[in-house]
Structure 1
Amino acid sequence: MVKSLRLLHRSLKTEQSYLGWLRRFYLFLQAKEPEAIEDTDVRNFLSHLAVDRNVSASTQNQALNAILFFFRNVLDREMQVGAAVRARRTARLPVVLTREEVFRVFSKMDGTYKLMAQLIYGCGLRLRECLHLRIKDLDLEGKCLTIRSGKGNKDRMTVLPESLVGDLQEQLGLARKKFEQDRRNNLPGIALPEGLGRKYPNAGTEWPWFWVFPAESQSTDPQTGITRRHHLFPSNLQKKFKKAVSAAGLAKPATIHALRHSFATHLLQNGYDIRTIQDLLGHKDVKTTMIYTHVAGRNLLGVRSPLD
């Protein structure tokens, strides 16, 4: 299963998730041999998740994707359960903060984590896109940012706020100290995407490839087993942001991803066209971006309530 996932360049997060679902499926079937598994076993497992475990539609579909991947790519069998048992996902509006709420939250943060939150809002980044930023991805003079291998393994460019240039230069200075410390200690270079480590063996020890937000200490790479310096752990920023939202007195269930939603909504309110926002967010389909038209303003249709 691991070999098949890596052959198709699935991310580490996908690999961990699919293996987890495969283990749960195996336990549910009480160690039944793969050759003896039938379509009804898959349906029963998904029913168990929906009825007994009360999981969401997206979680149920993720479990199905993991099982179908295993049968299709590992056992070379096609299960006839795909469209019949997929749960219909409920359409939800994104949680969006007002400008005043965004800056109230920022006022309750400081240091590196505040800068990361400001980058996510100011550039429309996903959490992992922010964490994976490398020195060469920043163009402080051109005021732009390059996101490499984002969702769907796509690259894109987005705007870089002028107001963050000074803070970013300071952050690069802190990152440079960690980089030089690693070189003095002759530590392995940082992880490189896919096969670049073999193509450019020394690139991991070069400054342009270093993390913009490196971790304080080294840790072991779960895929290679090599101990090296990684970027900051995602839960650190998530916890800091959750505390800031609570300290700011906001009643909205805002996660760090709400900053990306707010970026898109505020651009729409400022009059930018939907195609421009689609490119900045890296959405494959404009329909995904259109969700923000539902939360971009109080009176998009020009309708006045009869009560008013």
Structure 2
Amino acid sequence: MRKDPRELAANAVSPRELIEAVRLMLRAKRYSLRTEQAYLGWIRRYIAENGRRHPRELDGRVLGAFLTRLAVEGRVSASTQAQALSALLFLYRELLGVAPEWLEGVVRARRSQRVPVVLSRGEVARLLGRLEGREWLMASLLYGSGLRLMECVRLRVKDIDFERHEITVRCGKGNKDRRTMLPARLAAPLQRQLEDARVVHQRDLEAGFGAVWLPDALARKYPNAAEDWGWQYVFPASRRSSDPRTGIEGRHHIDEKVLQAAVKRARHEAGIAKPATCHTLRHSFATHLLEAGADIRTVQELLGHRDVRTTQVYTHVLNRGPGAVLSPLDR
């Protein structure tokens, strides 16, 4: 019999029981594993900093004071404070059925306006030149297709269209799908990567495994889809592991830290002083397209931005090319 998270939360006598109720509610509402981990972390911290009392005993002033401490004493970013607020509002509204009164006096963390780090074409070439094999291919997809890091590692076989030179990004930021370009230069290396991944998948099937994690209720709706080749990850992990939610052993995608470490190492070897990361390659993708004369609305669609104002941040470097804006000193 399935447990009711709200009933568990109401009868919880210890923080551990309350946390378990939150976990069940998050999974019932199909929140991602990363969101689940982040929300549970903030709720644990909130309870611990308030004497391990049940959140139902704490009013909006306590909630406001906690968020203010994060901004004033913890000096967290605006996005971090917003994440903490979202976690606590989920606890109160979704689980406890309480709408805490909001206080205007809460100190908000200041949202910084940062110019994105962008590499020149020469720097991109030097960076990619220091990478090899799978890591080179993944970094090339970040730059050549504008993928986010997790969009790249979560890429599935069925979402690559070699005939149309397209990649379909599923459940991107904001749980949105979009299509972006597949560079012709990456078609052959990507085909070879798929051949290697298929060998790994076939071995898993022969060993009695081969089922991959499927989103939402697809595993129940299509029981055999988890073993289908099209649903497998393009960049599978080097070893099998157990799903933290179901306990089923399978092969997940590669850990994103592998690519992050490779890019960091390549940046140092290439002598690039800029604090470039995997996401810098996506910034460079957008900037170089705009420099080449691409329409900003097209770039917005390729990046998956909801608002064109988000894409406009890349126009800060448009001071080169035929339409360059020249300094009066250069004139």
Match of 1:76 in 2: 97
Match of 1:245 in 2: 267
From 10, 24, 37, give the equivalent of 2:45: 24
**Within-5 A mapping of 1:210-249:** 210-249=232-271
Checking the alignment, whether the CA contact within 8 Å between 2:60 and 2:103 is kept in structure 1 is no
TM-score, normalised by the number of residues in structure 1: 0.95
Checking the alignment, whether the CA contact within 8 Å between 2:71 and 2:81 is kept in structure 1 is yes
Whether 1:302 and 2:325 are equivalent positions in the alignment is yes
Checking the alignment, whether the CA contact within 8 Å between 2:212 and 2:250 is kept in structure 1 is yes
- TM-aligned CA distance change 1:90 to 1:224, over 3 Å: same
- TM-aligned CA distance change 1:114 to 1:220, over 3 Å: same
Whether 1:135 and 2:157 are equivalent positions in the alignment is yes
Q: Does 30-39 or 124-133 show the bigger shift?
A: 30-39
Checking the alignment, whether the CA contact within 8 Å between 2:138 and 2:152 is kept in structure 1 is yes
**Within-5 A mapping of 1:93-132:** 93-132=115-154
Checking the alignment, whether the CA contact within 8 Å between 1:50 and 1:56 is kept in structure 2 is yes
Give the Å deviation of 1:47: 2.5
**Within-5 A mapping of 1:1-308:** 1-81=22-102, 85=106, 86-298=108-320, 302-306=325-329
- Unaligned runs of at least 5 residues, structure 2: 1-21
One-letter amino acid of the structure 1 residue matched with residue 131 of structure 2: M
One-letter amino acid of the structure 2 residue matched with residue 304 of structure 1: S
Give the Å deviation of 1:83: 6.8
- TM-aligned CA distance change 1:83 to 1:254, over 3 Å: farther
Give the Å deviation of 1:290: 1.0
SS of the residue aligned with 1:157? strand
- TM-aligned CA distance change 1:265 to 1:79, over 3 Å: same
Aligned CA-pair RMSD: 1.7
Checking the alignment, whether the CA contact within 8 Å between 1:266 and 1:296 is kept in structure 2 is no
Checking the alignment, whether the CA contact within 8 Å between 1:93 and 1:295 is kept in structure 2 is no
Q: Percent sequence identity over matched residues?
A: 49
SS of the residue aligned with 2:239? strand
One-letter amino acid of the structure 2 residue matched with residue 302 of structure 1: V
One-letter amino acid of the structure 2 residue matched with residue 61 of structure 1: A
1:145 and 1:110 map into 2 onto residues whose CA distance is: 22
- Unaligned runs of at least 5 residues, structure 1: none
CA-to-aligned-CA distance 1:91-134 (integer Å, 9 cap, x gap):
11111111110110011110101100001110000111111111
TM-score, normalised by the number of residues in structure 2: 0.89
One-letter amino acid of the structure 1 residue matched with residue 328 of structure 2: S
SS of the residue aligned with 1:122? helix
**Alignment coverage as a number of residue pairs:** 308
Q: Which has the higher contact order (CA 8 A, sep 6+)?
A: 1
SS of the residue aligned with 1:145? strand
